[in-house]
Amino acid sequence: MIVGSVIYATSQGLGHLAKSFFDAGVINKVMIYQHPHGEAVAPTHTEWYPEGTHVIRSRSIDGEAVERFLDDVDVVLFFETPFDWAFANRCHERGVKTVIIPMYEWFLERPPHKFDLFINPSLLDQRYFPEGVHIPIPVEDHITWSPRKNAIKFLHNAGNIGSKNHKGTLELLKSLAFLTMPIDLTIRCQKPEGMYKLIRDAALPKDCVQPTIVTGEIPREQLFDDQYDVYIAPEKYNGLSLPLQEAFASGMMVMTTNRFPANTWLPTAPLIPPTMTRITQVMGGHLKFEESVINPICIAEAIEQWYGRNIELISLAGKSYAEANSWTVLKPLYIAALESVL
């Protein structure tokens, strides 16, 4: 079985996810889809893949190189989107099976292609696509577990901020006005202009806790190193959250929203209760879903409840999670799922 994929080769979650599957040998052949935001914003890392890998520089995935790609593959595995739905249909015309690892909130209400299989990365995605199979995303080999002792230093990665402030960065900033303890909080963000807009929107008083702001890209192997104890991210929606997974697997205590499915695999004691949920969608034409509403006061209360406390057992639980969800354990499940469509 030869598995192909059309992927981003950019320093973002979707790009790193695809590279992980290629490096593990689940994907054997790729075409790189140039990010629509352009090279200045999202540079293409062609060096991640073999020399001569085809780069698609238009919205359409077609042409001679694409046909030769389809000559060589049995299955095409998509991550979240096929980019060009006509290409997914072309796969079937050529007798090539299609499989997708979906992100439910960005999936179309009326997709113009029927995939042969959904491999759902979370239990929430499984609810949306029950005809599929649930297999967790493996913990990458570069994640190194280190023990944490006490909840002293807090970290939040805003990344590219994302749609609808879904990582809860603004709510986290607003929570600082309600803290009575001088916590150590670092917030990282790849988009400085977006980060400073959120800071302005938070309108924090000068006498409250002031976070350390770090902008720009951080090497992946340093994202969750042992200088931080708690990863805090009051997320509003999503099924798969790679930052939560990677932080937990690295030994950090994870403080996120008490919502499904995070509360099925994370220790629940540190989780932040949502105030309510509401139905929303990322944009018209996409699936509707539940979004958690988080009160900044609840975030502050969770922080103060755990600040300075011993978290060694939670840290050890992260080590067990990493071992149970390694590529060694999960790769055979992915191979079997992909083979099942042939």
**pLDDT in the model for residue 221:** 77
Close Cβ partners of 50 (under 8 Å, ≥ 6 residues apart): none
Among the listed residues 284, 6, 263, 13, the one whose alpha carbon sits nearest the alpha carbon of residue 160: 13
**pLDDT in the model for residue 13:** 84
**pLDDT in the model for residue 141:** 86
Per-residue pLDDT reduced to its tens digit, 72-107: 999 999 999 999 999 999 999 999 999 999 999 999
State the distance between the two ends of the chain, measured CA to CA, in whole angstroms: 9
- 261 preceded by a cis bond (ω within 30 of 0): yes
**pLDDT in the model for residue 64:** 96
**pLDDT in the model for residue 15:** 92
**pLDDT in the model for residue 298:** 98
Q: Which helix (H) or strand (E) holds 3?
A: strand 3-7
Distance of CA 301 to CAs 93, 133, 172, 216, 307, Å?
A: 56, 38, 12, 30, 10
d(CA 67, CA 78) in angstroms, rounded, equals: 17
d(CA 105, CA 240) in angstroms, rounded, equals: 11
Between CA 41 and CA 85, with CA 109 as vertex, the angle to 5 degrees is 55
Q: Which amino acid is at 254?
A: V
d(CA 23, CA 17) in angstroms, rounded, equals: 10
Reported pTM: 0.94
Cα 272 from chain centroid?
Answer: 19
For residue 78, the cross-strand partners are 100
Among the listed residues 189, 241, 197, 194, the one whose alpha carbon sits nearest the alpha carbon of residue 217: 189
DSSP for 213-236 reads: EEES---GGGTT-TT-SEEEE---
* pLDDT tens series, the chain, 342 aa: 999 999 999 988 889 999 999 999 999 999 999 988 888 778 899 999 999 999 999 999 999 999 999 999 999 999 999 999 999 999 999 999 999 999 999 999 999 999 999 999 999 999 999 999 999 999 998 899 999 999 999 999 998 887 888 999 999 999 999 999 889 999 998 888 888 899 999 999 988 989 999 988 788 778 898 899 999 999 999 999 999 999 999 999 999 999 999 999 999 999 999 999 999 999 999 999 999 999 999 999 999 999 999 999 999 999 999 999 999 999 999 999 999 999
**pLDDT in the model for residue 70:** 98
**pLDDT in the model for residue 226:** 87
**pLDDT in the model for residue 125:** 98
